[in-house]
Amino acid sequence: MRSARLRKLVPLGLVLCALVPNVSAAAPAALDDISSTMTADYLQRCQRNQDMCMAFTNRVLEVLTTAAQFQQRQIYKGCAPIPLDIVATGQLVKWILTYPQQATGYAADDIAKAAEVLWPCK
């Protein structure tokens, strides 16, 4: 099962990855990995390797931001300063860990929720 936000974006994301080279080169993870990665796996990845954590987080936010630009604001309403640096990624991970009751279990949804709270659009 995929995250609710990204389940709708897989076809759009595949097209965007083909059209926008920097999105597809941003991280080695496939779009399918983004939509199906569980929050617990994401948090373990962040604990083991900060660079992989930052790359995955930025990849998710790039896909969500691009989707929002294509009139899909209901999927992501944040304005995170992409690419996140290591400090901002740490803030996002800390938010997810601080508010586990708001977690959906899917990393993409939880990254989006944390980014919407931490960096709301004005």
pLDDT of 80-94, one tens digit each?
A: 999 999 999 999 999
The helix or strand, by DSSP H or E, that contains position 68, with its residue range, turns out to be helix 50-69
pLDDT, mean of residues 56-82: 86
Angle at 77 between CA 25 and CA 86, to 5 degrees: 50
pLDDT, mean of residues 48-68: 94
**Choice among 14-28, 36-50, 81-95 with the minimum mean pLDDT:** 14-28
Higher pLDDT, 7 or 37: 37
pLDDT, mean of residues 21-46: 71
Say yes or no to pLDDT of 34 above 80: yes
What's the mean per-residue pLDDT of the chain? Answer: 80
What is the pLDDT at residue 73?
63
Domain ranges, ordered by start, for the chain: 4-118
The tokens describing 85, both together, are 């640096």
Say yes or no to pLDDT of 104 above 70: yes
